[in-house]
Amino acid sequence: MLTRLAQRKNRFIRSDNIAFAILPLVLLPLLPQVWLLYAYHDWFLSHRDIIMTLDILYIVLARLLLLDTAIYIFSHIKRHFHIALLHVVMLYLEVTVITIFFYAVIYWFFDPFHLFHLNSQLAPENLAVIRSHDFILSMYISAVTFTTLGSGDWIPQTLPAMIAVITEVILGVVQGGVFVAILLYAHQNKEIK
């Protein structure tokens, strides 16, 4: 069914170039949360476990239903093999960045020092620098988790953080497998115009 949708001439999105602009729209649900975080800080903190769980459910569904489907559709558009391969690689890079960024924002919203425990000894001045750059810390935790490097220095200490880490690792592993499968499929079915 998805292959027929990709090859239809009258499909809603006619070019995969628009995908580069559409995919970041997955991040839009985070904007109201920024407002909630600052306008209703106490309410936000008292409901953070529920909000974080909903965020995790949203990104998993968005990844599987929207982002990966879009990649599949655009990988089946007939064009020169090398251009198709380049587009698929660039789309997957964008999906990777969006996913890592989404999880980093979640970690940042809910305070990485609340969600994770530092399992190493740092000098007090280094820890102070890390505390003052908590978004960069959140990006680090997200990137290490998504790529399954798992250095072990940040250990989840809340149930929502554990769920977030589990889902992010699964998305990272699945993304690598799907990426290889799409490359193999594209190579086996290459068509040169």
In whole numbers, what is the pLDDT of the chain averaged over residues? 79
pLDDT reported for residue 193: 44
pLDDT at 173 over 70: yes
Determine contact, residues 84/191, Cβ cutoff 8 Å: no
**pLDDT on residue 107:** 94
Q: How far is CA 43 from CA 38, 72, 108, in A?
A: 10, 40, 17
Higher per-residue pLDDT: 115 or 77 = 115
Q: Sketch out the chain's domains with CATH numbers.
A: 30-188 (1.10.287)
Residues 6+ apart with CB under 8 A from 147: 172
The rounded distance, in Å, linking the Cα atoms of 165 and 44 is: 21
Task: Write down the pTM of the prediction.
Answer: 0.80
Say which residue, 36 or 14, is predicted with more confidence. 36
Could you tell me the CA-to-CA distances from 18 to 13, 25, 138 in Å, in that order? 7, 12, 29
Digit-coded pLDDT (tens) for 50-64: 999 999 999 988 887
pLDDT of residue 161: 93
Reported as a single tens digit per residue, the pLDDT across 82-114 is 666 677 777 788 888 999 999 999 999 999 999
